[in-house]
Amino acid sequence: MSMLTNTLGRYFAGRFVVAALGVFASIFLLLVLVDYIEMVRKTSGLASASAIMVAETSLFRVPQLLEKLTPFCMLIGAMTCYLALSRRLELVVARAAGVSAWQFISPALGSALLIGVIATVAYNPMSANLRELSKRMEAELFGSAPGGGIQDASGFWLNQVTSDGQTIINAARSEQQGVRLTGLTLFRFDTEQHFKERIEAREATLESGHWLFKGVRRFSLDGPPVDQASLEIPTTLTEAQVRNSFSTPETVSFWQLPSYIRSSESSGFATAGYRLQYHKLLAQPFLLAAMVMLAASVSLRFFRMGGVQKMVLSGVGAGFLLYVLSKVTEDLSKAELMHPIAAAWLPVVVGGLTGFLALLYQEDG
């Protein structure tokens, strides 16, 4: 505990935090640049798209993308920190003073746990809110014409059956967890499953007992297209049901996940995706600490002993394998072949034990 509070411990913790934040900022700028170039390409034919609005849209999209890369930021940051300390012989001096590897790793572990807590309780809600805001801005950029302008290849699909017949809804983009949709195409059938009409709309909002469509164009088999400012279509769907069709667990903030899980359970929908996301966020601080352990196990070798390049490559390879393991467990959990708790915590246990055993063998073996 004294190593976490004394001057040397604060120095090691500061060096680690600076290195980790430096990697985080570098990847953030790279993602913003790449996403901005892609958005410029998509909006090149839109006269209403200003450069500032396109830049803001990209800036608001990136935080959620970067959240998935946080463990790798910790891994690369910790490796950078310890390699710099080793190259400047600061680790040699610390060892000569009687400080063991476990002691100068503990400040970084404590810092990683703190960063993980902040990422879960503060950064995740912020990134989810910014993602929703970016969707709204995308709708303003691409949804000026009936049909929603540029659409995804598949988008979001919803099927509803009422006393008037069946309606199949396809939306290019979803906002507010499915309550507001843009870039819509509807296929309506009567009670005998005969095709009735096709409808294109700029946007739609779920209200009590009906969908309110705006910027509507209706196509039927026995007449020319008809334009309408608005159109109401009855529905029996609730916000909880729409949320399960259009929302993804990654777009729900940490503080909202428990209520989403309860509402999905009460509605009879599958909750595996929401439970997995909730436990992944709970395990995030420990996953970042496990990444520090992995980084330390491949970064404490002295430069004079050689083989540093191989150790660094092995660390990057271990991080990649851990990522593959997390994706496999995530897919198994979403398919309900693995419990969400096991899927979320297995990569943490594997990464932590691997780093711990490697350090134990190098330092005390």
* Per-residue model confidence (pLDDT) at position 1: 47
Rounded-to-10 torsion of CA 306, 309, 311, 312: 140
Mutual angle of helices 272-299 and 257-267, in 10-degree steps: 140
Helix, strand or coil for residue 240? helix
Average pLDDT of every residue of the chain: 82
Encode pLDDT of 212-248 as tens digits. 999 899 998 888 888 888 888 888 877 766 766 666 7
* Per-residue model confidence (pLDDT) at position 151: 41
- At residue 62, φ and ψ (nearest 5 deg) are -65, -40
Per-residue pLDDT band at 145 (split at 50, 70, 90): very low
Lookup result for tokens 């990697």: 23
**Which of 55-59, 116-120, 291-295, 351-355 has maximum average pLDDT?**
116-120
Per-residue pLDDT band at 113 (split at 50, 70, 90): very high
Tell me the average pLDDT across 121-135. 88
* Per-residue model confidence (pLDDT) at position 302: 62
Tell me the average pLDDT across 309-325. 82
Residue length of the chain? 365
- What is the set of domains in the chain, with CATH numbers? 1-145+272-364 (no CATH), 156-246 (2.60.450.10)
E strand or H helix at 185: strand 180-189
* Per-residue model confidence (pLDDT) at position 89: 78
Q: Are 203 and 214 in contact (CB under 8 A)?
A: yes
Rounded CA gap, 125 and 254, in Å? Answer: 6
- Show the tokens assigned to 116: 């993980």
Q: Which residue has the higher pLDDT, 230 or 298?
A: 230
Lookup result for tokens 């400040």: 107
* Per-residue model confidence (pLDDT) at position 281: 93
Residue 284 has pLDDT above 80, yes or no: yes
Mutual angle of helices 51-68 and 124-142, in 10-degree steps: 140
Encode pLDDT of 6-32 as tens digits. 777 888 888 999 999 999 999 999 999
The b-or-e profile of 152-181 (16+ CB within 10 A means b, else e) is eeebbebebeeeeeebebbbbbbbbbbbbb
Residue 123 has pLDDT above 90, yes or no: yes
pTM higher than the cut 0.85? no
